[in-house]
Amino acid sequence: MADIADIRTEAARLCAIFEDAGAVPVDCPILQQAETLLDLYGEDIRARTYVTRDPSRGEMMLRPDFTVPVVERHMAEGADPARYTYAGEVFRRQEDHPDRASEYIQVGFEIFDRAAPATADAEVFALIAGALAPLGLKAVTGDVGLLIAMVSALDLSEDRRAALMRHIWRPARFTALVKRFAGLTPVPPTRAALLARADPMASLAPLIGLRGEDEIAARIAALRADAEEPPLHAEAVALISAVLSVSETCPNALEQLRDIAVDMPAILPALERFEARCEALAAKGVAVESLQFEASFGRSSMEYYDGFVFGFYAEARPDLPPVATGGRYDALTRRLGRGREIPAVGGVIRPDMVLLLEAGS
Amino acid sequence: MSVKLGVPSKGRLMEKTFDWFAARGIALSRTGSDREYAGSVEGIGNVDLVLLSAGEIPRELAAGRIHLGVTGNDLIEEKLVQWDQQVKPLAGLGFGQATLIVAVPECWVDVDTLDDLDGAAAAFRARHGFRMRIATKYHRLVRDYLRRGGVADYQLVDSQGATEGTVKNLTAEAIADITSTGETLRANHLKILSDPPVLESQATLFLSRRSEKSDADRETLRLLAHMLGV
């Protein structure tokens, strides 16, 4: 482990790169309102963060990252457009990887800009790639926006579509839902029995709790509608699987996705954005022809991203966490903006990993 | 040094543990007054009895302050991260059986599986503006179970006792708790989801992987394992 003073020096070096790109340095409190983060990420985040209780402030969380507080701050008082950089400790519980650090420094760069999202995506990626170039890392990119476009394109009821959208970030559950909607898994016997009853609400057990009779009835109606919905076509299931398994260099991925789009034209706008981003990346000097694109990248770990996503990895050290990660999070600004929104993209680097890899090489 | 054996300090769990050891030729007993947590061991030398609350035994095993301990595997798995690297189960003792389950109001005829719970949770959040509350004291086990089951839009609320009453009292919509016969659940108009339970538990004898041992302690542990048939 590198000396903390060296890590801070490296963090300052990285921050300076972002400041040179016009970013304003910002900071934010270490203690964050837990409720905001829990509402965004759900209960799962407790397994990855430190939550503590304050008698007057309620539940507080040691910041697991800077993105949420930086977005909150920007939505409250930020200039438009704006770009920020920060460096500071973040805190993560490591129940699954006790050998990994639970406190480390992140250096970040965030762009809030309504114009030319492809250019902003490319700028964040290229700056980080440039700062990490001597390490010879492998970069992987993806695009959650493509998956959202794919789900929007499916011939499904709004209820089923909403269920899939909700679980884009939970791959196993997503696949299970697709199979059920396609009629590939049997209806659970208890649900079949429920729907076979003429009046499932008759002779109900005593009503207890906050969830009311009307809510139960509404869900039964939804289940009935779902049972009557025709199954998702086998062809659609094959297309979903084809999109999710794209793992190629950017030009080849684009070509594969264009072939898929012949049968799924609704993803064409997402592909145009992908292509524009590739051009913007190339204009910034990124070797797009060898840059990896994985359609499923970022699905299990990067909940708030809804567009371009990327990560930088040390191929020779698969035991290490990624050296840098980032992506586009337009929807997060909408959720935290109370009616306002602004397209945003950013990324973070771990200076401790940079030093570790430099020392090893 | 001596081999330290941690046993629950009161109630049926203590009595049944004493019976289990007695059937294998080792007499454990509490000494002194009823309020004093001291004990004695007969039938084998170099073993000290340490009477502890069942809930503290996982921590003491993980810290290596006791070599052996009897507690439920529910408490071990809830309280210890990567528990199998810290303790080794030697034997299920055949009592203290309990199942950690998720239960919802019986009147929720539309909810029988985790898939249903997820659907109901999404609708509940849209209607009420907050995530569906599940009362439990087994936070880690239940969170892991619900994550693997693909349930979103819920929150765990802490309940250290009388958990079955939380739904009626409007402090939770569902619960996750230990049950043995299910009677308390039925009395409180709750039903168990039909998916496999979060965990099946029983009183179990665990060996600490962290405790320091002298050569004599190792010899004692070997003899003890032989007598206990573990």
Domain boundaries, chain B: 3-96+202-228, 98-200
| Pairing assessment for the beta strands B132-136 and B154-158 based on DSSP bridges | parallel
Question: Which tens digits make up the pLDDT trace of B197-224?
Answer: 999 999 999 999 999 999 999 999 999 9
Asked if residue A166 and residue A126 are part of one domain, the reply reads no
Q: Are residues A132 and A160 in the same domain?
A: no
At B37, the pLDDT band (50, 70, 90 cuts) reads: confident
Is A310 part of any domain?
Answer: no
Q: How many CB atoms lie within 10 A of CB B33?
A: 7
Total of domains in chain A: 2
Pairwise CB contact (< 8 Å): A46 & B81: no
Q: Are A73 and A342 in contact (CB under 8 A)?
A: no
Residue A43 has its nearest CB partner, among B112, B143, B188, at B143
Instruction: Say what the pLDDT of residue A24 is.
Output: 96
End-to-end Cα distance, chain B: 23
> Is B3-96+202-228 a CATH 3.40.190.10 domain?
yes
Residue stretches of chain A with pLDDT short of 50: none
Least Cα distance to A110 among A334, A357, A343 occurs for A343
* Contact: A207, B119; criterion CB under 8 Å: no
- What residues of B are in contact with residue A98 (Cβ under 8 Å)? 81-82
Size of the A and B interface in Cβ pairs below 8 Å: 111
**CATH of segment(s) B98-200:** 3.40.190.10
Closest CA to B180 of B21, B74, B105: B74
Q: Find tokens 């196993």 and name the residue.
A: A172
Same fold, B3-96+202-228 and B98-200: yes
Interface check A173 vs B, CB under 8 A: yes
pLDDT at B36: 66
Helices within A55-166 (DSSP H only): 67-77, 117-132, 144-153, 158-166
Backbone torsion region of residue B229, taken as left when φ is above 0, otherwise alpha when ψ lies between -120 and 50, otherwise beta? left
Q: Are A10 and A120 in a shared domain?
A: yes
ipTM: 0.87
* Cβ–Cβ gap A204/B127 under 8 Å: no
What tens digit of pLDDT does each residue of B62-85 get? Answer: 999 999 999 999 999 999 988 999
Q: How confident is the model at residue B31, as a pLDDT? A: 85
Judge if A43 and A9 occupy the same domain: yes
Do residues A173 and A61 share a domain? no
Residues of chain A positioned with their CB less than 8 A from the CB of B170: 209-210
Report if residue A110 sits inside a domain. Answer: yes
What lies within 8 Å, CB to CB, of A316 at 6+ separation is none
**What are the tens digits of pLDDT across the range A266-303?**
999 999 999 999 999 999 999 999 999 999 998 876 57
Which of A170, A210, A222 lies at the smallest CB-CB distance from B128?
A210
Residue A20 sits in a domain of what CATH number?
A: 3.30.930.10
Do residues A92 and A192 share a domain? Answer: no
Full domain range(s) for residue A187: 155-201+212-237
Nearest to A351 by CA among A128, A142, A111, A19: A128
CB–CB contact A210 B156 (8 Å): no
CA B71 to chain centre: 7
Q: What is the pTM of this model?
A: 0.87
> For residue A318, is it within any domain?
no
